[in-house]
Structure 1
């Protein structure tokens, strides 16, 4: 296992420890398996992105029993947190065997990257509502090699010994030590910061009430190094790191939505607010021209550099040659 897959496994484990998600999973797993089919391939996995809202709504039948939407969401455990976990689950599934990880908790992201996201007003840090953070790790052996070949040092990421057999402190009693891996990843990130790519995904169940927030944050991040000229006493980044130093940065909006999708047209205010986000606007349904792209399109639009080849090659390689990587996603058909 390398550091990238270690982080992915940790993120997915934490999703299943989230009560709202684990409760809903009892129903969602069956729906997902039905949509995948028995003889699933890479395309069936990718196409789940067009059905995430159907999966989400499969636990909302209580609305028909006379409960309000809020009560139904509470009873069925399909809260905004569960939606974030479902999206995190799907995106990381497609990213298997790639160099990208979708983090749900900011505290799990290498600290230089989160420092770069901070917007400073005078001496006060203001953080965006960065629900999900996609990190594309650079193509260097520090992240792609097995954990046992990665020696920890106090001198940033050096020396690196690609053929080394020394455990180097990453393991204790047979298990990787996350605190050591976090420290090491942060050191390497400091040194190779300009080779990283990152995407923030604002992930919401409601579209109308939340569309203005990503629009404003995207404007702030687009201003980048010129923000202090246009908005006095503001700057992007802290501790010497800023997103403007990254290889690429995008900001996206991804919604269910719980509002009726028939109400969304090209002229709708909520649609226009997120139309020009740097990373695009997505929902858990198939594409609707001039309104929203399917969640599955976010890979082609923002994160193709994470794959050494194509999505098809990456996922099919997992299915045929590395099925053990699927086990942590807790689908019966993956076992």
Structure 2
């Protein structure tokens, strides 16, 4: 088997979400119209410039707490789908945070302990990049268990990117800033803070990044749009960068389409658009 089986499992998990089931029929029409029916590699890559418009296609204008929660799950799912679309045919897989699809070793490596309390970051999505010679399980039987065993053996060759996805930028920018600081820091025993468990730590990985991807849901003057604004400053120096579902605005945010070059370039054996075209032609991954 290949990374495509892991991608298949990751997307099955997304497709089971009620918000995805409700929104996908509308989003799919938007996406197909913007990408010539998923046949244009350039437009597929550039879809990251338009994810906000796709996301808002299902916007009812309802801002109660229930709709916000649903919106958050929808945004995480849409970002996961877009990542896996572009990564189709590569050795990189995007997953929503779930014990069912995220290998145990990677969950252990990113666990934060404070005293006797353990928690994982608010990682809505994570991307694992496997080395080219990675030995994927040969059969579907016990796939997740055997995949994790191989990851544990090859952790020094694994790259991991954690991506926090939020619809509202202003209300959430401080969260990825603080998590990124925690993962960067080295703590003495007196602090009671420890990164990793069961012998695994993010420092064992070949590469680790922490990113923020927002819609953003704000409109007009409420939307962060200047480098001097606090919401922008808070995510300006994340190890993995700050992105939104629109075209890049210098000093403010990068298009979601730029996350591949910035964080996951090692997954591609050729340029990104050529890789997408190969997946289209070969009907690989989400193009199958």
Q: TM-score, normalised by structure 1?
A: 0.80
CA deviations over 1:252-298 (Å, ceiling 9, x no partner): 00000111264321111111000000000000000011110000000
Give the conservation status (yes or no) of the 8 Å contact 1:106–1:133.
Answer: no
1:190 to 138, 141, 152: 152
Aligned twin of 2:238: 277
* CA distance, structure 2, for counterparts of residue 261 and residue 14 of structure 1: 35
Residue 112 in structure 1 maps to residue 105 in structure 2: yes
Give the conservation status (yes or no) of the 8 Å contact 2:38–2:44.
Answer: no
Structure 1 residues 105 and 259, CA gap change in structure 2 (3 angstroms):
same
| 1:127-138 → structure 2 map (5 Å cutoff) | 127-138=120-131
Residue 14 in structure 1 maps to residue 13 in structure 2: yes
* CA distance, structure 1, for counterparts of residue 233 and residue 286 of structure 2: 38
Deviation at 1:109, TM superposition (A): 1.5
Higher gyration radius (CA)? 1
Structure 1 residues 238 and 39, CA gap change in structure 2 (3 angstroms):
closer
CA deviations over 1:106-164 (Å, ceiling 9, x no partner): 31222111111011123321221011111011222413xxx5xx3xxxxxxxxxxxxxx
* CA distance, structure 1, for counterparts of residue 55 and residue 16 of structure 2: 18
| 1:36-55 → structure 2 map (5 Å cutoff) | 36-37=35-36, 40-55=39-54
Give the conservation status (yes or no) of the 8 Å contact 1:28–1:55.
Answer: yes
SS at match of 2:171: coil
Give the conservation status (yes or no) of the 8 Å contact 1:252–1:279.
Answer: yes
CA deviations over 1:40-95 (Å, ceiling 9, x no partner): 321111011111000011111x33xxxx4238947xx9611011110000000000
1:305 to 266, 271, 276: 266
Residue 123 in structure 1 maps to residue 84 in structure 2: no
* CA distance, structure 2, for counterparts of residue 260 and residue 181 of structure 1: 44
* CA distance, structure 2, for counterparts of residue 32 and residue 233 of structure 1: 47
Give the conservation status (yes or no) of the 8 Å contact 1:271–1:291.
Answer: yes
Structure 1 residues 141 and 237, CA gap change in structure 2 (3 angstroms):
closer
* CA distance, structure 1, for counterparts of residue 178 and residue 52 of structure 2: 25
After TM superposition, the structure 1 stretch with the greater mean CA deviation from structure 2, 294-303 or 310-319, is 310-319
Deviation at 1:24, TM superposition (A): 0.9
- Unmatched segments (≥5 aa) in structure 2: none
* CA distance, structure 1, for counterparts of residue 233 and residue 38 of structure 2: 40
Aligned twin of 1:325: 285
Residue 236 in structure 1 maps to residue 195 in structure 2: yes
- Unmatched segments (≥5 aa) in structure 1: 151-169, 171-175, 329-335
* CA distance, structure 1, for counterparts of residue 285 and residue 165 of structure 2: 25
Structure 1 residues 185 and 261, CA gap change in structure 2 (3 angstroms):
farther
Structure 1 residues 39 and 285, CA gap change in structure 2 (3 angstroms):
closer
After TM superposition, the structure 1 stretch with the greater mean CA deviation from structure 2, 14-23 or 299-308, is 14-23
Give the conservation status (yes or no) of the 8 Å contact 1:133–1:201.
Answer: yes
Aligned twin of 2:248: 287
Give the conservation status (yes or no) of the 8 Å contact 1:110–1:182.
Answer: yes
Give the conservation status (yes or no) of the 8 Å contact 2:210–2:238.
Answer: yes
* CA distance, structure 2, for counterparts of residue 213 and residue 245 of structure 1: 24
Aligned twin of 1:199: 161
Q: TM-score, normalised by structure 2?
A: 0.93
* CA distance, structure 1, for counterparts of residue 210 and residue 84 of structure 2: 18
